[in-house]
Amino acid sequence: MTTPDAAADTFTFDPAWLSALGVGALLPRSLSQWEPLVLEGLAQFLNTLPPARIEAIAQTQASLALDAPLPERITTLLLQCPTLHKLGQVLARQQHLPQALREQLRQLESTPARTDSGTVAALRQQLQSHVSASATPAAQLVIAEEPLAEGSVALVLPFHWQDKQGTHEGVFKVLRPGVAQQLDEELSVLPQIAAFLEQRGQALQLPALDYSGTLDGVARLLREEILLEREQAHLQAAHALYACTPAIHIPALLPWSAPWVTAMERIHGQPLAEAELPHHERQRLASIAIDALLAQPFWSPDDPALFHGDLHGGNLMLTHDGRLAVLDWALIAPMPKPAREAVVAAMIGGITLDARQLRKAVSRLGNISPDDPRLVASVEQALDALIPPPGSMAVPRLAGFDWLLGLLDQLALDGHIHVDPALSLFRKTWLSLAGVLADLGGEVSPDLPLIQRGLSQLLAEWPRRSLAQPLDASALGTHVSNAELAHALMAASMSGWQWAWRASARFWSGAPHLWSGWAPPPQPAPSPTLPLR
């Protein structure tokens, strides 16, 4: 932090201070070239906030102990901005971060109450009056004096009530006082930040990314998160989706919900990733989470499919009866069926090493021509990565979701494509859940349960395929038409040749060491010949 204008008596944040704070550790090593831009962009973001908020952030940092660990300082900084708080929740389970930093960031998943007691008392009175005036008043409803927890935008107040069936428990979820204004202050400056990132990224000779489109998408999502009516509609949709999945528990809505408050069933349990369980039980829960939260909606014929958009560790609970409770449906990732069809087509292209099919599928997911030389080179590199190095005993890599998302990530980072926002949010869901499962200790790869569910879906829908048009996959949960399936089976029969060709190409491309120092053997001296007359 610096104070460049003593007369104005204002604080400003500079990239050097953020670097000393250790903010660069939030990036994986593979993205180290982006660290200067991230630090400058974050400093620019903080310095565009209203002066009162800048001073509050500075004072909070000054109030920490002089020897406060850097991870604690980073977490404290993120906690004071709803947008940065959400970022910290996403990063909290990422394995590339130092353990001490991850442990601090996990506190952002569900923080202790920070709202002052007077404000909480006023909220309790408002809620009590709201229930009394509702169509279903509960005379014996008692609201707890202290919040159960606070998140990035809301606080949760527990309550209980009695009726003829007995005692019941619920929670009221309301927006934190002032959070809407804070969020508006932060989101309103994002266009300015996008322009800054574009200019500085060019000066730093970084790939040209669509900063404006990306930050605009972030702003739309965060604005949706404070619309509690949307969350209530999402909860109802999630109930319908998982009605026949007994291993998943979605909190039930209660009749006292309103545009400014969500009333729902209280869930008792513990965070999934922190549950002390035997290995086989962790494996079971990891498989349930992948199958229900990723595979089930992905292989659905619904358009769009409903994915939870905020699967950080605080939103996945293990209930006392061994079920997986999924909380906080404010943010969802509605993925259109055409996007899922393109994802499946791309994976089939990867499995069969069909570079042209893979390029065509990727072009449907991003704004790039299938014959663009940049896409051609990236696809060839991605397909070659599936083949073990020459002489290696490694198992060939599976061309699954993780591999495909890695390809799309690289294309986006190189500035070659801008993927659909729905796919970006699905990527966030995948990343968050994978981090939670890694902390859970499960050894289940998200790819295998997803592919197994897809094969099961293929068998289940087989009778319906006789009625489907050859090129129509609109009613098929596998997202593959009969014509595409026939082509995939034919390509699979030829994939052995593709594997052999690519393996031999990799071998010979790395083979010069085999003949380094090699020279042709000496040739025998020619036999003397008689001159011809």
For 380, list phi and psi in degrees, rounded to 5. -60, -40
pLDDT at 272: 85
Establish how many alpha carbons lie within 13 A of residue 291's alpha carbon, considering only the half-sphere containing its beta carbon.
19
Domain range summary for the chain, segments of one domain joined by +: 2-109+187-222, 337-419+461-510
pLDDT > 90 fraction of the chain, expressed in percent and rounded? 32
In this structure, of 73-87, 212-226, 349-363, 383-397, the range with the lowest mean pLDDT score is 383-397
Tell me the pTM: 0.80
- The mean-pLDDT minimum among 320-324, 366-370, 382-386, 429-433 falls in 429-433
What tokens were used for 294? 């990723």
Q: How many whole angstroms separate alpha carbon 405 and alpha carbon 426? A: 10
| Pairwise CA distance, residues 239 & 244, whole Å | 9
pLDDT at residue 68 in the model: 87
Give the residue carrying structure tokens 């595979």. 295
Q: Compute the half-sphere exposure of residue 425: CA atoms within 13 Å on the CB side of its CA.
A: 23
Say how many residues make up the chain: 533
Whether 412 shows a pLDDT value over 80: the answer reads: yes
Residue 145 reports pLDDT greater than 60: yes
pLDDT digit string (tens) for 346-405?
999 998 888 999 999 999 988 889 999 999 999 999 998 888 766 666 667 788 888 898
Contacts of 461 (CB under 8 A, 6+ apart): 476, 477, 478
